[in-house]
Structure formats: C-alpha cells, structure tokens
Structure 1
Amino acid sequence: MMDSQTVRSEDAAAGPIGASLASSWRIEVFSDPADVSPDWPRGASGVAQCHAFQTLAFLETWQASYGQSDDIDFCLVEVRDAVGRPVLMVPFIVHRSRSGRVLGFADLGAADYNAPVLFPVEHAWTIAGARRLWTEITALLPAFDLVLLDKMPEKVGSLINPLYLLADKINPESCHLTQLDRPWPEVEKQLQGAKNLRNRARALQRLGACDLVIAQTAEQRGQMLETLLAQKQRRFEETRVPGFDEHPEKRAFFTLGTEIMARAGALHLSALVLDGKMLATYWGLVHGGHYYGLFIGNESGEWSKYSPGRVLHYLLLQHLNATGFVCLDLGIGNEAWKQSVCDVTIPLSMMVEAQTLRGRLSLLWRGLRERLVATSLWQKIRPLKWVILRGWRDKAVGKAFEQ
C-alpha cells in the first residue's frame, strides 16, 4: 500500500484562492479507500458536494473490479487548509497503457462525471489558484507521461470545479438529464412520443399484470441483475460491440456493486414485470435527489413492438417525480434517444497534457486515430471485428463441448 504523503505549500502572497485557504495546503495521497479520512463521503450526507461516482461506495466497487489490474495505481487525494478543514478530495489513477503512464480519474468507462469532492471555501477559485494546487498535487503522484482528465463538469452542486478551470478541450460527449422538480404534466410535456409510450404501457397492461417493480431484497436484486446482464450481453452481440466476455471488469463492477451500493443506500434497481417476466431492467444510482441511470436492458423479439425499455424509463420518470427526486440523469453520451427524453444538457470539458516525449508521441497518435475512427469506412469495418472474434469463440466452445 502506498503510504500517505503530506506536502505544505506556503502561499503567503495570498492570491484569491490562497486567501480562502489561509496560508498553506495540506495534501495527502492514499492508495486504498479504506484508509481515507471520515470526511470523504460514503453517501449523500454532510457538507461535501459530489456526484455518486466519487463516493466511497463507488470507489470500493471500482477498486474491486476495474482497479484489480496490476497496471493501475490508485491515488486518492485529500486537500485541506492550514487548520485541517477539507477543501477537496479527488480519486485519481495512474494507468499504464500503450500511451505510457496516464494520469486520469478512477473511471475507465465506469463514471459519467469526473470531478473532485468539493467543500465550501471562502473565495472563488481562479485559474492561477487551481494551477498552483494542481502542481502541488501532481508532485506527490507516481510518475506519468500523459494527463487525461475527461468528462469534467463546470460545477459540482453549487460549487465551481477547480479542475474545470484547467481544461483545454471540450469533451466529445455531454451528459443529459430530465428535470423532475416540477409537476408531472410539465415533465411529460418535454418527452418526445409521450402519448405513444402511454399507449404502449396500456397495451402491456392489457396482456396481464404489468408493473414497475423496485428491488427491495437481495433476492430481487439478484434476479434483476441476472436478467439485466443477459439482456445487455444479447444487445452487445446484436449491435456488434464488445461485451462482457471482452470486458469482464464491467460485469464485475455491476455484480459486486449491486450489494455494495445497496448497503450504502445508493442503489436503485428496477424492472418492468409482466406476469412475473422481466421485460426490461434498469440499474441506477441515487445520490441525494439525483438519479443516475447507468444500465438499461430489455427483451427483444416479440416484445420489441412494445418498446419495453422505453416504457420502463417512462414509468420510472413518473415514479421518481412522485417520490421527490430532482432529476433522472442518463449520463454521458449524445445518442438520439437520450436527447429525445431529456431537457437539460450538461457540457463537459477535458484537460490533456503531455509531460514527457512519450506523452507527446502518444498525443500525436491519438490525434491520428481520432481522425481515422471518424471516417465512414472505419465505422463500417469496426463491428466486423467483434463478429469474427465471437465466431472464433463460439467455434472453440463447440469443439471443447464435443470433446
């Protein structure tokens, strides 16, 4: 385990952020969520402001799944002022990849928003103040070739995100959500195809007992999770994208996270159930009045004409609105269906910096690859890779079975 480290940054010149942080910063770095201070939020209580993706419950789940690779150093940073009051806490990793050693957030595709846990300070953050603090933090981290901080919102709750001030690029994708803190007729009015969804929900109800079910027990959670993973894997294969067989850490995240998040009071697992059959399933997190919809699956074939996934989303919106939630957040991604059901777009930014020659070469390669991926030819060819790989896998399994 990495020992915690502390640094003091004398800031007697007292610029705006220096004045708000008294005369020094105290910075500690930990490698295990079990070692951080009690100020790091496990859930949504306290004065700290953060997204669900920076809570200890999420980080413990992430460490037990994505974080098991030997190529990852977990760097949990805590920043305090001179008298020990918390200023911010942020989960970084240094990840070894073909790009070299990359400094980023504890994410790798699991989080929708990347930002620090923020505490109120007396004065506004400035670019200069954020840069000074950034320099002090990175001096304590393992060596890295490239900084890649993505999916950063401008604010966390009501507080300015200081890392956003250092961003130099627009994140390619935004987050999208539906505001729920208003009467249901106003919410429904913003939904494209709301009348059609009501009709499909009624059509399902005519077939039998059709209800929105929220998991309350470990048995219900287990059944819903098993169904969801099967629905998602089928969808991965239908759309020719890598699934759980190529990314077992993703399956591990949802499998382990279901009970970890449930114990923390942060899980919201639901299903659209018709006479005992789960037609669609939804795995989400809750943080205060904020619902994050992370994973949705649905049956296909004969059920496609009823759009069970869309119906589940519609009924869940109603449920969350009636129970006092502020929003349903569909997170990162500019898919057309998200934009059709959401009325708020959250733009995000990135900070990308090369620290070494290897980092600069990596940025050059990233630019070339991004241009290649954007071509229509690449978009046509890419799905065929997964068709071929799955064909080889299925053939190998068949031979093993025959033997």
Structure 2
Amino acid sequence: MTTPSDMASATRPDAPARPLASAARTVEAAACAISVVPAADLSSLNWPSNLSNETIGTVFQSLEFVTLWCETIGARRGARGFGVAVTLTDGAPVLYLPLAVETRLGLHVLRFMDGGVAGMNAPILAKDIDLVPGALAVLWPRIIAALPPVDAVDFTRIAGHVKDRRNPLIELGCADHGAAGNLIDIAGQSFDDYAATKARRGEIGKVESRRRQMARLGPVSFAIAGTAGEATGMLEALVGLRRRQILRSHGHDRFETGGHFAFYRGAIAEGRLSRLTNIAVERCGDTVTAAVLGFIEPGHYRFALTAYELDSYGRFSSGARLLIGLIRRSFALRHATFDLGESDQPYKDVWATRRLPLLDHAARVTWRGHLYFAAKRLRRTCAAWHQSDFAKWARASLAHKPNPR
C-alpha cells in the first residue's frame, strides 16, 4: 500500500513536491449524505462544468467529458454510468465522483469512466469543504451499497492529489500504478528561464537543426485548429498515424472497436473545441508529420493523444518540435501547469519538473470478484507474451512460410 508520505517523495529531484492545501472547513463522514444518479441525470446533481471555477478537479471528470464518454466509449463497452455526489445534509457539495459499471465475462465491475482516455482519475472537490482524513474510507461502503451490485472494484490511475489538494481516494488502499504522471509547473517563470537547463537547451537546439533539414523537403509549419472543420481534418491525420502505430504493435484497431475515434471526434466538435480540447499539427508542405490532441481546462493543458509520421519524416523530430511549441504556448497563455501525461518515457524526464503519483485500487466485493482478477492477470500474461521477442519472431516466421501444396 502506498502512503501519502511515499507519494510526497515520488517527485523529480529538481522540483520538490509542493505542500498540499486544505479547505477552509473539514467535515466528518457522519455529516455527509450520498446521492447516486444515472449519468443521464447528472444535471440534477449540478455536476460541475469543465469551465467551473467553483470546484477543484480536472477535465476528465467534468460534465462535458463524462457525457461524451457515456455517449461513445461507454456505449460501445456496454457500461452503465453513474454520478456519485457526497454532500452535507444541507445539500452543500463535498465531492463528485463519476463511475461506471461494466460487465466482463458475466461479472459486474466498478471502474472509472476511462478506457484509456482519462489521464488521471479523482473526484471533483468542493473548494471550501473537505473530508477529514479517513472519512472517505468510512463513506466507501455506503457508496458501494448505493450503487448497483458489483463483484469487483478495479480503479486505475488514481491521482495522488487533485491540483493542490489531497485525493481522498488514496484511503481505499492503493498500490503503485507502475508509471507516474509528468507535470511542468509554469506559474511564476518565463519559458526562457524554464528552458535554461542544459538538457532543455540541447533538445531545443537539436530539433531546430532537424527542422532546417526537413525544410529542404518543403515549408515547415505549426498550426492549431481554429474551427471544427480544421480540427476534423487534423484529427483524421492524427488518427491515421496513430492507427498505423497501433496495428504494428497490437494487430487490431481499438479506435473503432473501443469507440475511441467517436470519442475524439466528439471532443473536437463545434461547441467543444476550445472549451474541452484543442488539436495541433506540424506539417512539411501538405503532409502532417506530427499531431497532438490535448484537453484543456482553466489554467491547465493536458497532453492526451499524439502520433508522428515515422516512415518518411521520423528522423526530423517533428513530435518533439510540436511538443516544444505547445509548451511555449502554455507559457504565453500563463497557464499554471502543462500535463505531459503518464509514462516513464525518457523525453519526459527532460521537460517535466514534477511527478504526479498514480495509484491503482483493486478489491473484490463478492467471491466472484476473484474470477475477474484471475482473468485479468491471464490476459496481461498473454498480452506480455504477444509482445515478447519470441512471439514477434514466430509471427514473422509464419508470415514468410510458403504455403504447402
């Protein structure tokens, strides 16, 4: 089990963890009431919008994101979405938590509304009220009882904290996720100050040199979609590049089978572009060489989906250059943070200034929950074997084996 003190130390050496803030008022579990409604009725709980300044949360739990997820990925997975609100007895909100019940092998599993599109999972917290430490653990059995019956709880990517507040979900008993989030703290410094380290200066010099090399093939340009029409063309290019990468690695197209393409298409639709997302590309001539879709919320940019053209332009560092352009833009817009997303990829060590601890919580609710977790372990073992060198060699050998006559 990971403790808050463990998480405080899980930071990059060049930026110690900032002290977490406390709400003006803290409350015990006994002072709280619990409401659960189907996702279609979130408005009855006054669920916060992505643009709300009255709560502390991320875009991934906002009304716009949750609604879109239920319409696309949730519908494709056959998930039933629910909104959980913890309030005081007078109705004042304490936290909001979007959850989904999915059926796997006939077993009912409680999960976050994620499926690979949420960079982190946490409740939306009230600004002026917080639970005392330990209260969420006391409330949790009541929350489980208020939801439809489930066999297991399988939460992944639980953020160690929400902005500058402690995430109460860490009280459920969590294990390390295996990879951390990566953040750039922007507030209080200029891009030039931030980029002054030897590693960042070197990376900027390298990508500029490669831009000049690529410019021999055609004019190099950076663009951010300003209309839904522009965004649609950029998304088609991004998904096309991403699909090629996925098919090479996994052999199946999860963008269609999992509802992900419909989700991202909805995220850049008229009314959501610039309120929920933005999408940017680098081009060489008319060819998109790199593309990034990011989620936005007041004062924060969250790197979400990215892909690069590797066959003809891979040596020119288009992806790194596009990332630097987006980081510069966040500094110019005076954002508080730039979220590079989960993973321990080496390039994030160059740009991130702080790690965000990510945790998992797995628990059986009925004896049938054991079956779900056993099946999940088996699936992971098979997936690891599929990516092993031996499996790749075997597939390559079979692909070139002549047909018997």
Same structural fold, with TM-score higher than 0.5 when normalized by the shorter chain? yes
The match for 1:284 among 294, 319, 336 is: 294
Which string of whole-angstrom CA distances, capped at 9 and with x for unpartnered residues, describes residues 266-307 of structure 1?
Answer: 211111133343221111111112111111122232212212
8 Å contact 1:30–1:36 — kept in the other structure?
no
What SS class does the counterpart of residue 368 from structure 2 fall into?
helix
Aligned AA (1:133): L
CA contact (8 A) 1:90 1:115 kept: yes
Tell me: CA distance 1:243–1:367, structure 2 relative to 1, closer, same or farther (3 Å): closer
Contact 1:179 1:327 in 2 (8 A): yes
Structure scoring higher RCO (CA < 8 A, sep ≥ 6) equals: 2
Q: How far apart, in 2, do the equivalents of 1:47 and 1:84 lie? A: 15
Residue type at the aligned position of 1:25: C
Matched, 1:223 2:233: yes
> One-letter code of the match for 2:121?
N
TM-aligned CA distance change 1:245 to 1:361, over 3 Å: closer
Query: 2:383 & 2:245 partners in 1: Cα distance?
Result: 22
Aligned-pair CA distance for 1:104: 1.2
1:254 and 2:261 correspond? no
Q: Give CA-to-partner distance per residue, 1:70-114, whole Å, 9 cap, x none.
A: 732111111210111111111101111037211111112221111
Distance 1:65 1:91 in 2: 16
CA distance in 2, matches of 1:245, 1:207: 31
Q: Which residue of 2 aligns with 1:75?
A: 82
* SS of residue paired to 1:285: strand
Tell whether 2:136 aligns with 1:130: yes
Q: What is the alpha-carbon distance in structure 2 between the residues aligned to residue 370 and residue 224 of structure 1?
A: 33
CA contact (8 A) 1:149 1:352 kept: yes
Match of 1:149 in 2: 155
5 Å-filtered alignment, 1:95-134, equals: 95-98=102-105, 100-122=107-129, 125-127=132-134, 129-134=135-140
TM (norm. structure 2) is 0.82
Aligned-pair CA distance for 1:248: 4.4
Count of residues paired in the alignment: 372
How do 1:1-400 residues align onto structure 2 when only pairs under 5 Å count?
20=27, 24-37=31-44, 39-69=46-76, 71-98=78-105, 100-122=107-129, 125-127=132-134, 129-181=135-187, 182-188=189-195, 189=197, 191=200, 193-205=203-215, 207-244=217-254, 247-259=257-269, 262=272, 265-367=275-377, 370=380, 379-380=388-389
Relative distance call for 1:106 and 1:25 in structure 2 (3 A) is same
Contact 2:109 2:154 in 1 (8 A): yes
For 2:149, what is the secondary structure of its paired residue?
Answer: coil
- The normalised TM-score by structure 1 is 0.82
Which amino acid letter does the alignment assign opposite residue 93 of structure 1? A
1:159 CA drift (Å): 2.0
Residues 52, 58 of structure 1: 8 Å contact kept: yes
For the aligned residue pairs, the C-alpha RMSD in angstroms reads 3.0
Match of 2:14 in 1: none
After superposition, the Cα gap between the structure-2 partners of 1:334 and 1:224, relative to the gap in structure 1 and judged at 3 Å, is same
Give yes or no for contact 2:42–2:83 (8 Å, CA) kept in 1: no
Three-state SS of the structure 2 residue aligned to 1:163 is helix
Return closer, same or farther for 1:308/1:381 CA change in 2, 3 Å cut-off. same
Give the Cα separation in 1 of the matches to 2:255 and 2:115.
Answer: 17
The aligned residue for residue 3 of structure 2 is none
The runs of at least 4 consecutive aligned structure 1 residues that moved more than 6 Å come to 384-388
Unmatched 5+ residue regions in structure 1?
1-17, 392-403
Range 341-350 or range 202-211, more displaced: 202-211
Q: Distance in 2 between matches of 1:387 and 1:285?
A: 38
Question: Which structure 2 residue ranges, 5 or more long, are not aligned?
Answer: 1-24, 401-405
